[in-house]
Amino acid sequence: MLTTLAVLGLAFSLDLLVGEPPTAVHPVAWFGRLVDAVDRDWTDGERGQRLVGVAVAALAPLVPAAVAGGLVLGATPLHPTAGPVAAALGLFLTTSLRSLLELTEDVVAATDGDPDRARERVRGLVGRDTSDLSPAGIRSAAVESAAENLADGLVATLVPFAVLAPVSLPAAAAAAAWVKGVNTLDSMLGYPSKPIGTASARLDDLVMYLPARLAAVSIAVAAVDPLAFARARAWARTPPSPNSGWPMATLSCALGVRLEKAGVYTLNPETELPTLAEGERAVAVVGRAAVVSIAVAVALAAVVATVATPFVPDLEPLMAVPTTDDTAPAEVIEWA
């Protein structure tokens, strides 16, 4: 359990100190190039594309999972700290918190006096057309993205990592990388216009079911409004995604603001779009919700460590390297 805590601590220390690595050296961007390579017309018919998409969804996420798990497994015999450090790096590369909060805070601040810059910067958070958004509409988009990405960019990879880490660090790293691969596939292929991405979108819906709701509960706790999660039920299913509406609607209810994507969904419609102060508060709430999520992950790891300890064999005697006792007398061989 102490190793798990150290790994989690190192991963999030790296996130706070370094933030998002440059795109050119980011493994998620490398995986994105693989997705780009398979995103083409493999067959003439839509049905054939969907069948190809099933294979893509089943096989592509295994690539980052195998790489992450293999690196941790390969590093483990090198030094007692090598495996945990490699696992921490893997978790760090599959999560994003500091960059999310900094960009959201920057967009919200820019809406007060520099809306053109805010419209440009918010494109790093959302894919919608921002050219006609008002400052309040830009704040809404930024706040929505912060809530949704708390689930996608933190909770989704953190929870399986924390659950598996007390049992196997290679498996934990592989699970986090697999989930990140599924998320990336959905973000790049999961559109109605891309039949090849249908299976990826469905798989992401399944994978994100629990993380989205855990993120929503964390937001309610962080906002000191536990009932916000219950009130969010009224609008959580309004967005097309079966999962993203939960953290967004919960944050909307906790802040008492309206969040909307024109022509797609409106959350908490009887309130107003967020003001500058409410946008700033949203960033603070999401930051605190991240801390709550990490605390929950640590608690889950502790439970798993307690339950799994009697069943995990002690491998140290098997991995011990025989040594020569220099103090023992050498065998004397007498020649006739």
Closest CA relative to residue 147, chosen from 155, 138, 157, 159: 155
Looking at residue 310, its pLDDT comes to 65
Could you tell me the residue ranges of all domains in the chain?
Answer: 2-309
Looking at residue 128, its pLDDT comes to 86
Looking at residue 298, its pLDDT comes to 95
Out of 38-47, 108-117, 128-137, 310-319, pick the least confident.
310-319
Looking at residue 318, its pLDDT comes to 42
Contacts of 75 (CB under 8 A, 6+ apart): 82, 83, 85, 86
pLDDT in tens, 92-127: 999 999 999 999 999 999 999 899 999 999 999 998
Q: Is the confidence at residue 148, as pLDDT, over 80?
A: yes
Looking at residue 315, its pLDDT comes to 42
Looking at residue 313, its pLDDT comes to 55
Looking at residue 131, its pLDDT comes to 87
Position 20 confidence tier, pLDDT thresholds 50, 70, 90: confident
Q: What is the mean pLDDT of residues 302-323?
A: 63
Position 308 confidence tier, pLDDT thresholds 50, 70, 90: confident
Distance CA 29, CA 3 (A): 29
Strands (E), the chain: 259-261, 265-267
Contacts of 95 (CB under 8 A, 6+ apart): 11, 12, 15, 153, 154, 157, 158, 176
